[in-house]
Amino acid sequence: MARTAQTKNPCPVPRHWRNELKKVLITEGQIARRIKTLSTEIERDFSGRALVIVAVLNGTILFLADLIRCLSLPLRLDFVGVSSYGLGTESGELVFTKELRLDVRGRDVLLVDDILDTGRTLHRVLGKVRQLQPRRIKTCVLLEKAVHRVEKVRADYVGFSIPELFVVGYGLDFAERYRNLPFIGVLHSRFYAELPSSAAAEPSTHLKRWK
Ligand code: IMP
Ligand code: MG
């Protein structure tokens, strides 16, 4: 059962980030506690199985690093890279920038992504991994936004359900920035309000501000 991220958050934005971030949505401590719970569920569900974790680059880096350190299961790790080259159009085509290298045929796969939004990414990657005939696939995302779903796809493990906000930090980026924040924050809307809605997924092509 996913946690709903608190919108009224008493944790202040660290001074250094105050100009850019409106608030801290999920603190470092809340993330750590949630990952502990998720890892217990994952361990229980995959117990006795040889697991392959397939993580989607780049937004999963911090989540994945913390999650796998909590898992006392024999596991292998591989990555897929997916990029949207839609240039702001709603039907931005997803292109694989890194293919899976491990053989997942007949194995149990846990597919990990940072956030489930429209569902296009997870849907596309799931299709690709299914073709490789794993024994079963389960999906795990740190965050889930329900509002924009266009593909019928769900995550088996969800860290937090969040409202319709553009969030950054703990691996999630805006124009490739903020991935290093140890918490999840909400960007001031002046940074992205002028962008077409789908540009939020790949804003670097629209924003010259950070270049
Ligand atoms: P989907 O394909 O629409 O489900 O979106 C998945 C991708 O969009 C994620 O892997 C992120 O890269 C990006 N994304 C969606 N919402 C956000 C957000 O609030 N902050 C940062 N990236 C986001
Ligand atoms: Mg991104």
The structure tokens listed for 82 are 């997916």
100 pocket-lining for ligand 1 (C-beta < 6 Å): no
**Residue with the nearest Cα to atom 3 of ligand 1?**
118
Question: Which ligand is closest to the CA of 63, given by its number?
Answer: 1
Atom of ligand 1 nearest to the CA of 124: 2
**Ligand 1 contact, 115 CB (< 6 A):** yes
**What is the sign of the dihedral through the CA atoms of 17, 21, 24 and 28?**
negative
Check the CA dihedral 136-100-123-31 and report its sign: positive
Residue tagged 């596991």 (tokens) = 75
pLDDT for residue 147: 87
> Ligand 1, atom 11: nearest CA belongs to which residue?
201
Report the atom number in ligand 1 closest to the C-alpha of 56. 10
Active-site pick, 66, 113, 114, 117:
117
pTM: 0.89
Burial 36-61 (b: 16+ CB within 10 A, else e): eebbeebeebbeeeebbbbbbbbbbb
In the residue annotation, 114 being an active-site residue is answered as no
Query: Residue 26, exposed/middle/buried by CB under 10 A (0-12, 13-18, 19+)?
Result: buried
CA–CA separation, 24 and 204 (whole Å): 23
Please indicate whether residue 108, judged by its CB atom, sits closer than 6 Å to ligand 1: no
Tokens of 164: 């319709």
Q: Is the CB of 116 under 6 A from ligand 1?
A: yes
Task: List the chain pLDDT tens, one digit each, 211 residues.
Answer: 567 776 555 799 999 999 999 999 999 999 999 999 999 999 999 999 889 999 999 999 999 999 999 999 999 999 999 988 654 434 468 999 999 999 999 999 999 999 999 999 999 999 999 999 999 999 999 999 988 899 999 999 999 999 999 999 999 999 999 999 999 999 988 876 655 554 444 444 333 333 2
User: What would the 3-class secondary structure string for 109-134 be?
Assistant: EEEEEEEECCCHHHHHHHHHHHCCCC
Residue 169, C-beta contacts closer than 8 angstroms, at least 6 positions apart = 178, 179, 180, 181, 182, 183, 184, 185
Max Cα-Cα span within the chain: 50
Predicted pLDDT at 194: 55
Residue having the nearest C-alpha atom to atom 14 of ligand 1: 201
Give yes or no for residue 172 CB within 6 A of ligand 1. yes
**Contact between residue 84 and residue 27 where contact means Cβ atoms under 8 Å apart:** no
Atom of ligand 1 nearest to the CA of 148: 3
